[in-house]
Chains A and B, each alone.
Chain A
Amino acid sequence: EVQLVETGGGLIQPGGSLRLSCAASGFNVRSNYMNWVRQAPGKGLEWVSLLQTDGRTYYADSVRGRFTVSRDNSENTLYLQMNNVKAEDTAVYYCARDGVVSLYGMDIWGQGTSITVSS
């Protein structure tokens, strides 16, 4: 079965760091464009980051310079390193699979992991 499972969420203080994991099964994360998308409580979806198959990375303006996306091919896992977190980073974070050679549409989503930034 093709699926994604996110872990690593929790309560974190402003300015702190946290790493989210997204374990894939049924396909290889290195073979697809992989996204992180978040949703603040009661709000809409916000794209956060993309890791292309060739290793290039892209970020939303709101997180660039603070968040880093990466993958471990041997573990078949996508990561999101979150540094210097802010209250506005509070959200459910989803990882989502995209196309093989380009953006196509996010066809597989994880269940999400919740991050709360608060002192």
Chain B
Amino acid sequence: QSALTQPASVSGSPGQSITISCTGTNSDVGGYNYVSWYQQHSGKAPKLMVFAVSGRPSGVSNRFSGSKSGNTASLTISGLQAEDEADYYCSSYTTSSTLVVFGGGTKLTVL
């Protein structure tokens, strides 16, 4: 069982917007701004999409945005494109004995 909870799957049609949630506790997501999001296409290495809750690395489309409210972080993808179909993982710093935790991952299907 992952420390951060994500929906197993989400789907949307091209052009639509979707949001993936990542729920933790005050010891991780809610207590610190060290939440990041990763995109992973099948058989490939993960790619950083959002850092520090809402920062966007150079080269990442502005269709990707991050936010946080309480113990839940969110990744929103607007204007869905076929190439966005992938697995998405959230990650956070945690005060538990394990320093960094990932969510279980969310499979995004573009219909």
Contacts and interface: CB of A to CB of B under 8 A. Distances in A.
Interface of A: 35, 37, 44-47, 50, 58, 60-61, 64, 94, 96, 102-107, 109-112
A112 B97 CA distance: 25
8 contacts: A37-B102, A45-B38, A45-B40, A50-B99, A94-B45, A105-B48, A106-B38, A107-B57
Nearest to A94: B45
Chain A interface helix/strand/loop/mixed: loop
Nearest to A52: B99
B52 interface: yes
A45 B48 contact: no
Interface residues of B, number: 27
Contacts of A106: 36, 38, 46, 48, 91
Given A61-B98, A105-B50, A105-B55, A44 B45 contact: no
A73 to B, nearest CB: 22
Nearest to A110: B45
Contacts, number: 64
Contact of B47 (A46, A109, A112): A109
Interface in B64-111: 87, 89, 91, 93, 97-105
B51 A104 contact: yes
Contacts of A61: 97-98
B100 A44 contact: no
Contacts of A58: 99-100
